[in-house]
Amino acid sequence: MSQYQRLLLIADPGMRQSPALQRAVALVEACGGSLHIAAISGPFATLWLLDKSTEAQVRDDFLRQQQAHLKAEAERLSAKGIAVTTEAVWTDAPIEEILLHMKNAQVDLLIKDTRNEPILQRAFITPLDWQLLRECPVPLHLVSAAEHPLPRRVVAAIDLSQPENRVSDMNERILAAASGLAVQCNAELHLLHAYERSSAYLAYAAAPVSWTPEFLDELTSIMRTTFDQFAEQHGVPPQRRHVVEGSPIRIISDFATREHMDVVVMGTLDRKGLEKVLGSTTEQTLYQIPSSILAIRPA
């Protein structure tokens, strides 16, 4: 049995055959299980300028149009042997609505099209994609493109720069999710570690020392040994192991583009203060890579 049996697709009301829909259908066809499609929308920014009757008309029109479209989509997918259900929802609290749907349906994978919000807008309103990255309790698959609806190449982006058990467990979860997806899709599995010396090496220095070139080379060797041991334990062959120095966001983006990765599997951690406002590595990478992201939360 595959690790994903109950998929929830948050459909973009403005898109029909979206990348996320193509990916969801391909996964269900390959792995079995069921698919629930929910088109969720609500009052837009200028709707408050309208009177109550006009607002109600906008809502009713949305629900009617989406229900008709979803019914036709369900009939098409059912004819292909896919177990599918649909619904259209109007709400002013989309994140709460999505989380409630997940709980009620016991979803084990949430799929959604990536929505690239302008930088200025992100400064004032947290994008729904970011909210889901921070609050979604199950694996979250944000799809930006689906050149191959069923992924052919999957990369697990791990972080060996911190020694805490939580991060170590996070690496295990990331690689397990990537490996499971690759097996289900018969895809190549790659392992990537992008590091910056300013932070990554703190995990390998036992005490304050002089940061000479020789000492940095020694720490690099230790880090690479740790990486290879981790890869060896999980059966990742040498030709699919990648350790690259540089900014994680840039390295992950460049690697995914150059190597034509269909899915980048990354971890999310709780953020606070300014870091939460600016977004985590996963949140920032979301808008910079052509690949889709499968985000995994800590246990």
The pLDDT score that the predictor gives to residue 203 is 56
Evaluate whether 157 touches 192 at the Cβ level (below 8 Å).
yes
E strand or H helix that includes residue 60: helix 52-79
- Burial of 96-106, coded b for 16+ CB within 10 Å and e otherwise, reads ebbbebbeeee
Q: What's the fold here for domain 151-299? A: Rossmann fold (3.40.50)
**How many CB atoms neighbour CB 57 within 10 A?**
12
3-state helix, strand and coil shares in percent for the chain, rounded to the nearest 5? 50, 20, 30
The pLDDT score that the predictor gives to residue 273 is 39
The pLDDT score that the predictor gives to residue 54 is 77
The residue among 87, 78, 80 whose CA lies nearest residue 105 is 87
CA 121/CA 47 separation, integer angstroms = 18
Report residue 119 as tokens: 């930088």
CATH assignment of 1-150? 3.40.50.12370
The pLDDT score that the predictor gives to residue 123 is 43
The pLDDT score that the predictor gives to residue 165 is 45
Characterize the bridge pairing of strands 292-296 and 140-143.
antiparallel
Domain 1-150 matches domain 151-299 at the CATH topology level: yes
Give the domain ranges of the chain.
1-150, 151-299
pTM score, whole prediction: 0.86
The residue among 212, 3, 228, 36 whose CA lies nearest residue 108 is 3
Report residue 126 as tokens: 């947290």
Give Cβ neighbours of residue 10 (< 8 Å, ≥ 6 apart).
20, 38, 40, 98, 110, 111, 112, 113
The pLDDT score that the predictor gives to residue 39 is 92
Q: Mean pLDDT for each 10-residue chunk of the chain (299 residues)?
A: 85 83 95 91 57 78 92 95 94 90 91 72 64 91 92 94 65 94 95 77 55 73 88 95 90 93 86 43 73 88
Evaluate whether 99 touches 131 at the Cβ level (below 8 Å).
no
CA 241/CA 192 separation, integer angstroms = 6
Q: By three-state DSSP, how is residue 261 classified?
A: coil
The pLDDT score that the predictor gives to residue 26 is 96
CA 155/CA 290 separation, integer angstroms = 13
